[in-house]
Structures are given as structure tokens and as C-alpha cells.
Amino acid sequence: MMKTIVFLFAFLPSVLGYEPTPNAATTCTCSSVTNIQRVAQSSGSNTYTWTAAPGASQYKVWNKRLSNGQTSSATYTSNTSFTFTGLAGGEYTFYFATVCIGDESNIIGVEDMTLD
């Protein structure tokens, strides 16, 4: 029974006359994050806010330390603010992207300092 179901799902589009276009170019429909501002800074942390993007389901944020190229894991948030914590003092690029259903905006990078 399971093999039959898998077979049907695998060939259903072609049976219905629908063939996906291979390597079709996709157009980003997410608006980029705008008006990014640092609103707080303390030893080892920076807090940023930004303007909500139309159609956003979440925002993706991460950072990269410039002195050693270390990149943090991405964090997803539904808020229009985020506090980067646990940062060693130095220069960083903080990255922000809007996430829409099945899509992601252009990435915005902000170079900034973090205090020791």
C-alpha cells in the first residue's frame, strides 16, 4: 500500500499535466529589514531594533567577528529587536534578513563595535 501511495505522489504532477520548470529563477518577494538602529550597548552585548517588514513571518539575525572571521549561528525571531550577547570586545558585522513564507530577503550587514 505504501509503495502505491509513494508512486502516485511521485507521478501525480505529470498525470495532471503539470511539469515544473527546471532551474526556474525565483524572485525574492520579502522586503529587506530597514531602519536598523543600535539602541543599547553594554559589555559583551549590542541591542538592535528595526522597522517591521510587510509579509515577514520572522527575522534572521547573526554576526561575524571581523578579527577572526568567526560567524555565529543564525537565530530566528518574530520580534523587531534583538540583543546579541556573549560577544568579546571588538569589531563585528551584524546581519539581518527578513523571512517570508518560503523566501528570504536580501541580507543587510551593519559594522559596529562591541565593548569589552
pLDDT in tens, 49-64: 999 998 899 999 999 9
Is the pLDDT reported for residue 40 higher than 80? yes
Residue 70 has a pLDDT of 95
Is the pLDDT reported for residue 14 higher than 70? no
53, 34 Cβ separation under 8 angstroms? yes
> Distance (Å, rounded) from C-alpha 28 to C-alpha 104?
7
Q: Element (H or E) spanning 14, and its range?
A: helix 2-15
Name the band, by pLDDT with cuts 50, 70 and 90, for residue 28: low
Residue 30 has a pLDDT of 84
> Distance (Å, rounded) from C-alpha 82 to C-alpha 38?
10
pTM equals: 0.74
